[in-house]
Amino acid sequence: MSKLVRKTLTDSPITSARKRKLARLAERPDSEIDFSDIPPLKQSFWDNAVRNPFYRPLKQQLTVRLDADVVAWLRQHGKGYQTRLNRMLREAMLKNIGTSAASRSPAREGRPTIHKG
């Protein structure tokens, strides 16, 4: 019979010496990172990549005003209309991010544009 051991970050608190070491590492610029032992990724890696199956984005509750016919169309397929709406919005967002990636400036690379209004 095997014994299952579970550890969490709270099981071993970070000592002050470890905190100092981590702070020194965090202060170092990215240009000092040695990537020589990491082979570059080929396009085939990204072609076969999938989202982490355990990824669960945080949900935020909000009030949105939608046209009545849009809500009726979403609800006509039964339970789960909010999930369907979220999936449709996510697909549109990812498509927009993908098409605008080429026009993004290097300073903003990797950061999505957030419009508040």
Span 50-99, pLDDT tens digits = 888 888 888 899 999 999 999 999 999 889 999 999 999 999 999 998 87
Residue 97 makes CB contacts below 8 A (sequence gap 6+) with 112
pLDDT band at 1 (very low <50, low <70, confident <90, very high): low
Residue whose entry in the numeric block shows the structure tokens 């051991």: 5
Using 50, 70 and 90 to split pLDDT, how confident is the model at 102?
low
pTM equals 0.43
Question: CA of 66: how far to CAs of 16, 63, 72, 81, 101, in Å?
Answer: 53, 10, 10, 13, 29
Domain boundaries, the chain: 62-117
